A and B are shown apart, each in its own frame.
Chain A
Amino acid sequence: MANASLNTTASSSDNTAESEADACTEQTRRALLIGALVTTTCLACSTQVRAGDDPPGSDDRPQKGDLLVFSEGDQEGKVITSSDLPAGGPPVHAWPKDPKTSVVRSASRLNEILIIRLDPAELDEQTRARAVDGIIAYSAICSHAGCPVTAWVKSDVGDKEVFKCMCHNSEYDPRAGAQVVFGPAPRRLAALPLTLTEGSLSVAGNFVGKVGGAQPG
């Protein structure tokens, strides 16, 4: 695909001002020649570098050692401890927070996390390895169309409660690595390994799996 693209003929690409995804839709041999200008524009396509006025690191993905803070509700911004999580759910929504700089990584919605406490005996082996005292974390972004996964409800196809995306009804079982149990989602939610640091939950490693919705091939 990339090779075929390089062989396309040149076309006008003058309208690069202010565009974000714009530049990604048009590319030319000339674009390669004037690389500096166009690559600068293309940088705007990437959420990783769409910082704007946000503090450095605020749209980086969760890092090992990050704390987790409430992303909504009365306790928004407060560090989440294991005692904040009711056994058996519902999940709380969280942002990662850099403990060194105190920057909350809330500049990209791709960083929103679901944290839930379940009975460790209910978790499959792989999920248990990423959990701490039955507490597990996943990306809150549905793998179908990128909507936020907001609901904790009884599954349409079983007796257990599951994560549900209300945009298109995809359901994920957090006990089994957030595998898809219903709906159009093509793959499980990305998992975030956890550990305990001085009583607070913290991130033990990068997301396992891809964050975000499906894109055309």
Chain B
Amino acid sequence: MTSKQWLLSGFVAFTCLASTAAVSGPIENYAPVTAQRLEKPEPSNWMLYRRTYDGQGYSPLDQINTSNVKNLTPVWTFATGVVEGHEAPPIVNNGVMFVATPMGQVIALNAKTGDEYWRYKRQLPDDLFQLHPTSRGVGLWEDKLYLATTDDHVVALDAKTGKVVWDTKVQDYRKGQYMTLMPLIVDGKVIVGGSGGEFGVRGYVAAYDAKDGKELWRTFTIPGEGEPGHDTWQGEDWKNGGGSAWMTGNYDKETKTIYWGVGNAAPWPGETHPGDNLYTSSVLALDPNTGKIKTHHQYHQNDSWDWDEVDAPMLIDLHRDGRNIKSLVHPGRDAIFWILERTPTKINYVAGWPFVSTDVWKGIDAETGKPILDPAHKPVIGKRVEFCPSLWGGKDWPSAAYSQKTGLVYVPANENFCGGFTGEKIALKPGELWLGTKPEDIGLKTKPGADHFGELQAWDPVTGKKVWQHNFPKSQLFGSVTATAGDLIFAGGTNDRDFRAFNAKTGEQLWEQKTNSGIVGMPVSYEVDGTQYVAIQSGWGVDAQRIQDALVTNNIGIEANVPQGGVIWVFALKK
């Protein structure tokens, strides 16, 4: 160590001290999280990303319902102190709420009163650049929380105090590796997937021991030499082929199978990586104990549109075509509403149809389930190609929901958007954007005469029919949707800052609340001491804002004026 470093050490040590959480008080009587509680969560709690392992985003609480939702009113709010996209669901375990925000922050609150227990603030490296400055939540196991960070660590916190229990580096953020997802917790394993497809990483899903942070397995989403599927790549393309896995998977507890969505191939134009490119734009079925790939289904081949399919499919039992189907339901970024059948060894194509207009697909091969391409709308090198929907797809990462009461799937969709770019062969530089096009060339165009953009859609997955649709004339819809047994659908996602409740059966809007910012996060519902609450983070940013900026250039009377800054909102019925 040099003398200069010794001189610096005092200062740096002080800096480290300054990054500590301001502790307001430990949590008393914390309810440890077990496998049983995650497999069958109490109706009052929201402990997984979509509340249950099947990913349905459905709360069985019905105190707040279609007849009284007009009396829903804020009971407390809490400023997060940071800007950018607040995408995480407030996670609730027996009256304690944990909220992850951008910039590696976790806040523990009394879910009834809004009083703070503790706050963890990660000191991110100065040279980190965050293309997606967000976090989608903390996973729970026993008496700990698990945060995946944008500087590519998994951090375990003591749920009662917010203190770091362990901190494991996953990969190198300086090479474009980062994480934004809420870890999936299965039987004491903390399971995460990496972001960074736009930096030319090779995607992976990895599991860590919840006790000590030791890596248990890592499965690459792009098969290496000698592995099945490797022959769907040519030359060295697989080494930087993308296939990031930046959303939380779902879990079938009966067959002990994780279903994990995989992102697009890199760089964007398919000509730069010929072949089907397994397992990009696919769903993987993984063994949680070993990470072994049991089977897979690729939604579309040789992706060229930035159409990630990272949002994991919902596990829904359907009676369709005269038989019971253990299904996987996935309204895709590729504009196709996919219904698949999951068996212990295979994923079968059942049905698919466009849920927004698209000029990329001419149909779906009924035998293979592969979509049939119109090559005129597939981006290539050296020529500008336009395609619909835009690179943000029919539905991006925000989650759809399924109501066990209505049997309908609720989709936050976007219509009347198209995109385009000119593909280029560009050399990869580790840690730098590698899109295969000039970023400034990427466009979003609205269709001439379009009378709306965002659509909240309700689909019957049994008949394939759309039951209702609510249009948003002046806004995209870019936020997750949650269903409740009160026959309500909660959603934000619009540039007017509104949080809304809809009648799940009819689509009628029943309630709205103007919030501080735009909502890109996920609504949740929980109960404490006999009172049902609905919670949401309002904090606009990331891709919702990117779309907003693009809309400004279309001269359709939309401005880039959605304020930023995060606030947690909690609502209950007026007493």
B364 located at the interface, meaning its Cβ lies under 8 Å from any Cβ of chain A in the complex: no
Q: Which of chain B's residues has its CB closest to A141's CB?
A: B129
Contact B13 A39 (CB under 8 A): yes
Contact B12 A45 (CB under 8 A): yes
Contact B440 A21 (CB under 8 A): no
A188 located at the interface, meaning its Cβ lies under 8 Å from any Cβ of chain B in the complex: no
Contacts A18-B169, A212-B126 given; indicate if A5 touches B553 (C-beta within 8 A).
no
Interface string of A157-193 (1 = CB under 8 A from B): 0000000101111000000000000111000000000
Which residues on the B side are within 8 Å of A87 (C-beta)? none
Shortest Cβ gap from B378 to chain A (Å): 23
Which of B9, B17, B545 is A2 in contact with, Cβ under 8 Å? B17
Contact A20 B169 (CB under 8 A): yes
Shortest Cβ gap from A69 to chain B (Å): 16
Shortest Cβ gap from B88 to chain A (Å): 15
Shortest Cβ gap from B442 to chain A (Å): 8
Shortest Cβ gap from A56 to chain B (Å): 8
Contacts A25-B155, A39-B10 given; indicate if A215 touches B161 (C-beta within 8 A).
no
Contact A2 B18 (CB under 8 A): yes
Interface string of A176-217 (1 = CB under 8 A from B): 000000111000000000000000000000000000111111
Shortest Cβ gap from B127 to chain A (Å): 5
Which residues on the B side are within 8 Å of A215 (C-beta)? 103, 123-124
Which of B104, B105, B129, B541 has the largest count of A CB atoms less than 10 A from its CB?
B129
B449 located at the interface, meaning its Cβ lies under 8 Å from any Cβ of chain A in the complex: no
Contact A145 B129 (CB under 8 A): yes
Which residues on the A side are within 8 Å of B22 (C-beta)? 1, 4-5
Q: Which of chain A's residues has its CB closest to B147's CB?
A: A25
A147 located at the interface, meaning its Cβ lies under 8 Å from any Cβ of chain B in the complex: yes
Q: What is the CA–CA distance of A136 and B334 in the complex, to the nearest angstrom?
A: 45
A24 located at the interface, meaning its Cβ lies under 8 Å from any Cβ of chain B in the complex: yes
B5 located at the interface, meaning its Cβ lies under 8 Å from any Cβ of chain A in the complex: yes
Contact B127 A212 (CB under 8 A): yes
A148 located at the interface, meaning its Cβ lies under 8 Å from any Cβ of chain B in the complex: yes
Q: Which of chain A's residues has its CB closest to B21's CB?
A: A8
A27 located at the interface, meaning its Cβ lies under 8 Å from any Cβ of chain B in the complex: yes
Which residues on the B side are within 8 Å of A39 (C-beta)? 9-10, 12-13
Residues A1-22 near B (CB distance < 8 A): 1-2, 4-6, 8-9, 11-13, 15, 18-22
Which of A8, A22, A47, A148 is B126 in contact with, Cβ under 8 Å? A47
Total CB contacts across the A-B interface at under 8 A: 177
B467 located at the interface, meaning its Cβ lies under 8 Å from any Cβ of chain A in the complex: no
Which residues on the B side are within 8 Å of A4 (C-beta)? 22
Q: Which of chain A's residues has its CB closest to B22's CB?
A: A4
A46 located at the interface, meaning its Cβ lies under 8 Å from any Cβ of chain B in the complex: yes
A42 located at the interface, meaning its Cβ lies under 8 Å from any Cβ of chain B in the complex: yes
Contact B13 A146 (CB under 8 A): no
Contact B161 A11 (CB under 8 A): yes
Contact A27 B549 (CB under 8 A): no
Contact A27 B19 (CB under 8 A): yes
Label chain B's interface by main secondary structure. loop
Contact B131 A145 (CB under 8 A): yes
Contact A146 B129 (CB under 8 A): yes
Which of B1, B13, B18, B23 is A1 in contact with, Cβ under 8 Å? B18
Interface size on B, residues (CB 8 A): 66
Which of B5, B13, B81, B163 is A216 in contact with, Cβ under 8 Å? B81
Contacts A42-B13, A42-B16, A49-B8 given; indicate if A19 touches B126 (C-beta within 8 A).
no
Q: What is the CA–CA distance of A8 and B22 in the complex, to the nearest angstrom?
A: 8
Contact B83 A150 (CB under 8 A): no
A75 located at the interface, meaning its Cβ lies under 8 Å from any Cβ of chain B in the complex: no
Which residues on the B side are within 8 Å of A164 (C-beta)? 440
Q: What is the CA–CA distance of A12 and B213 in the complex, to the nearest angstrom?
A: 14
Chain A interface size range: 35 or more
Contacts A23-B16, A213-B130 given; indicate if A166 touches B167 (C-beta within 8 A).
no
Contacts A110-B127, A183-B549, A215-B124 given; indicate if A24 touches B21 (C-beta within 8 A).
no
Q: What is the CA–CA distance of A145 and B125 in the complex, to the nearest angstrom?
A: 11
Contact A25 B123 (CB under 8 A): yes
Which residues on the A side are within 8 Å of B276 (C-beta)? none
Shortest Cβ gap from A124 to chain B (Å): 25
Q: What is the CA–CA distance of A43 and B81 in the complex, to the nearest angstrom?
A: 27
Which residues on the A side are within 8 Å of B83 (C-beta)? 184, 214
B113 located at the interface, meaning its Cβ lies under 8 Å from any Cβ of chain A in the complex: no
Q: What is the CA–CA distance of A90 and B537 in the complex, to the nearest angstrom?
A: 41
Contacts A20-B125, A49-B8 given; indicate if A146 touches B81 (C-beta within 8 A).
no
Q: What is the CA–CA distance of A73 and B84 in the complex, to the nearest angstrom?
A: 33
A35 located at the interface, meaning its Cβ lies under 8 Å from any Cβ of chain B in the complex: yes
Which residues on the A side are within 8 Å of B17 (C-beta)? 2, 5-6, 27, 31-32
A129 located at the interface, meaning its Cβ lies under 8 Å from any Cβ of chain B in the complex: no
B470 located at the interface, meaning its Cβ lies under 8 Å from any Cβ of chain A in the complex: no
Q: Which of chain B's residues has its CB closest to A183's CB?
A: B549
Shortest Cβ gap from B27 to chain A (Å): 14
Interface string of B524-565 (1 = CB under 8 A from A): 000000000000000001100110010011000000100010
A-B interface, 7 closest residue pairs, ranked by CB to CB distance from nearest:
A166-B439, A5-B20, A146-B129, A11-B163, A24-B123, A26-B164, A22-B167
Known: A182-B560, A216-B105. 14 other contacts (CB 8 A): A15-B166, A23-B16, A25-B120, A25-B122, A26-B20, A31-B17, A46-B12, A47-B127, A49-B8, A109-B174, A146-B126, A151-B439, A169-B549, A183-B549
11 A-B pairs in the complex with CB atoms less than 8 angstroms apart? A1-B18, A22-B153, A39-B13, A146-B126, A147-B129, A150-B439, A167-B129, A169-B545, A183-B560, A184-B84, A184-B564
Which residues of A line the B interface, CB within 8 A? 1-2, 4-6, 8-9, 11-13, 15, 18-27, 31-32, 35, 38-40, 42-43, 45-49, 72, 108-110, 141-142, 145-148, 150-151, 153, 156, 164, 166-169, 182-184, 212-217
Which residues of B line the A interface, CB within 8 A? 1, 5, 8-10, 12-23, 81-84, 103-105, 120-131, 133, 151, 153, 155, 158, 161, 163-167, 169, 174, 213, 429, 431-433, 438-440, 541-542, 545-546, 549, 552-553, 560, 564
